[in-house]
Structure 1
Amino acid sequence: MYKIAVMGDYDSIYGFAALGLDTFPVTFQEAGERLHQLAAEGYGIIYITEELAAQLKHDIARYEGQIIPAVIEIPGVSGNTGSGVRGVKKSVEQAVGSDILFSN
């Protein structure tokens, strides 16, 4: 079974520890290295705050073509930028070939 990690600023991620997820509060300076470390340690899912993900586009792109780890953006305390929803929408469209949020 794969492990699940949550990366971001402390205020955004501390609640995930209560769910049994491994939390990793990081700064922008150490985030890229931590992301690669978690991937190497066999984490299957890595949740990352949208604000942090915006700074790590190049690092996250390294894992886009791989099944493991799945790097998924989540809103942080600074709010929802919509980036996470767009990423999930794109992944589902690729998987099923249809827009899941189609609106008339």
Structure 2
Amino acid sequence: MSDVEGDVAVIADRETGLAFRSMGMQALHAEPGKTQEVLREASERYKIIFITEDLAQTVTDLITEYATQTLPIIIEIPSFEGTVGLGKKKMKRITERAVGADILFKEE
């Protein structure tokens, strides 16, 4: 990662992007089929990238590849359409790996 442009960006549909833009974040719109290209470009420019779960599902291999690196940090978030549970599943895996047990979501 070189010449980092900013700290945080979001890759999302237009509606979700507008919400983040109103908070002063850079919002990047990914057309269907272009998510991988947008994520690759964003990974060169931003330290933290939020991506809506629906878009994240289309680039899981690339997100897994970036997970082995220090930066960028990629965080899946729900869109205005709702959640598919990716963020929760990821937190569960991380917690189980760190602690050895599911201490966050064990009752669900």
Tell me if TM exceeds 0.5: yes
Q: 5+ unaligned residues in a row in structure 2: which ranges?
A: none
Q: TM-score, normalised by structure 2?
A: 0.82
Matches within 5 A, 1:63-102: 63-99=66-102, 100-102=104-106
- CA–CA separation in structure 2 for the residues paired with 1:61 and 1:84: 14
Match of 2:58 in 1: 55
- CA–CA separation in structure 1 for the residues paired with 2:98 and 2:37: 29
- CA–CA separation in structure 2 for the residues paired with 1:44 and 1:98: 29
Given that residues 8 and 27 in structure 1 are in contact (C-alpha distance below 8 angstroms), is that contact kept between their aligned partners in structure 2? no
Quick one: which amino acid aligns to residue 34 of structure 1?
V
Q: TM-score, normalised by structure 1?
A: 0.85
Q: 5+ unaligned residues in a row in structure 1: which ranges?
A: none
CA RMSD of aligned residues (A): 2.0
Quick one: which amino acid aligns to residue 102 of structure 1?
K
Match of 2:31 in 1: 27
Judged with a 3 Å threshold, the aligned counterparts in structure 2 of structure 1 residues 102 and 32 are, in CA distance, closer, same or farther, namely same
Match of 1:13 in 2: 17
| Secondary structure of residue in 2 paired with 1:47 | strand
| Secondary structure of residue in 1 paired with 2:51 | strand
Q: Cα distance, 1:31 vs. partner?
A: 1.3
- CA–CA separation in structure 2 for the residues paired with 1:96 and 1:25: 36
Q: Deviations over 1:2-60 (max 9, x none)?
A: 6111001101221111212110011122211111111112x111100010011111221
